[in-house]
Amino acid sequence: MKGDKPFKIVILISGSGSNLQALIDAIASGQLEAQIAGVISNKSSAAGLVRAKCSDIPTSVIDHNHFDDRNKYDNRLAETVESYSPDLVVLAGFMRILGPRFVDRFVGKLINIHPSLLPKHPGLNTHQRALDAGDVETGATVHFVTSKLDGGPAIVQASVPIAMKDCADTIAKRVLKIEHIIFPTAIQWLAEGRVEMRGKNALFDGIALPPYGKLVTTETSG
Ligand code: GRF
């Protein structure tokens, strides 16, 4: 919240929306001073839409299957996002790659949460890939979005251990718990104007962050 104006965010989802729920809860508890102006999904079946409706948040569905061209889809998405006049656009499990025109339109105001310790394991199936690589830890990263897939400057990162008995599902559960902590934290920093993107860097209180962003320690291991 800057002055009296609420910090407005639009959240893009494709699925369960547990991160969306974490943001709704963080706002309700006062931990996050922001207003969710709208939730947009590319899938009408996304469970996150129900979560939004339960909290009286306006929703829109823009189904990519109804567009024969990626640019047309991105344009419609951008127009819908802009109709909510957001200060920040938040990708929370939005499973579509956005084209460079969309990214350029919102650059510096567009963030994503990714379930790995970037730059390790960009893209999909991150937990299985962490296991296959023999990693002893993994985690989640909140980062600014640029046209390089999962490659924009990191804002915050937190890690969890990988145990011998783990499979991708057990790791996913553990990682989601820390996602639900670092996502509201990062957005609050943005709302307070403490974090910004300048050129290729994320700045915290005016100072460039390291490539992995700020490290946050959580006590989630089980
Ligand atoms: C999360 O693991 C997030 O990091 C990734 O997609 C998943 C979304 O989960 N980008 P949910 O829909 O928020 O539960």
Domain boundary among 106, 138, 162: 106
Confidence at residue 217, expressed as pLDDT on a 0 to 100 scale: 87
Confidence of residue 12 (pLDDT cuts 50, 70, 90): very high
Q: Are both 221 and 120 inside the same structural domain? A: yes
My answer on whether 183 and 221 are in the same domain is yes
Among residues 59, 82, 106, the one where a domain terminates is: 106
Q: What is the pLDDT of residue 140?
A: 98
CA of 183 to the centre of ligand 1 (A): 11
User: Residue 1: inside a domain, yes or no?
Assistant: no
Ligand 1: residue whose CA is nearest its atom 5: 93
**Three-class DSSP category at 189:** helix
Strands 35-41, 110-114: pairing is unpaired
Q: Is residue 68 assigned to a domain?
A: yes
Give the number of domains in the chain: 2
**Is the same domain home to 66 and 139?**
no
Structural domain of residue 71, as residue ranges? 7-106
Catalytic residues: 114
Whether 91 and 172 share a structural domain:
no
Pocket of ligand 1 (CB under 6 A): 13, 15-19, 48, 92-93, 113-115, 140, 176, 179
Give 14 Cα–ligand 1 centroid separation in angstroms.
Answer: 9
CATH of the domain at 98: 3.40.50.170
Is residue 23, in this structure, part of any structural domain at all? Answer: yes
**183 domain-assigned:** yes
Using alpha carbons, list the distances in angstroms from residue 91 to 112, 162, 170, 211.
5, 26, 23, 20
Among 106, 127, 145, give the residue marking a domain's end: 106
Answer yes or no: is pLDDT of 1 > 60: no
Q: How far is the CA of 165 from the centre of ligand 1 (A)?
A: 23
Residues 145 and 56 in one domain: no
Kind plus residue range of the DSSP H or E element containing 178 = helix 168-191
Same domain, 162 and 77: no
Ligand 1 geometric centre to CA of 95 (Å): 9
Give the Cα separation of 176 and 169 in Å (integer).
11
Closest residue to atom 14 of ligand 1, CA basis: 18
> How does the average pLDDT of the chain come out, rounded?
96
Helix axis angle, 18-28 to 168-191, nearest 10°: 40
- Whether residues 121 and 218 share a domain: the answer is yes
Q: Of all protein residues, whose CA lies closest to atom 2 belonging to ligand 1?
A: 115
Tell whether 70 and 141 lie within a shared domain: no
Residue closest via CA to ligand 1's atom 6 equals 93
DSSP state at residue 79: H
- 53 and 126 share a domain? no
pTM (predicted TM-score): 0.96
Strands (DSSP E) along the chain, which ranges?
Answer: 8-13, 35-41, 59-61, 88-91, 110-114, 137-144, 154-161, 195-198, 201-204, 207-208, 214-215
Same domain, 172 and 203: yes
Residues 98 and 124 grouped into a single domain: no
Pocket test for ligand 1, best of 18, 110, 128 (most atoms within 8 A of CB): 18
In a domain, 2, yes or no: no
For residue range 107-144, list pLDDT tens digits in order: 999 999 999 999 999 999 999 999 999 999 999 999 99
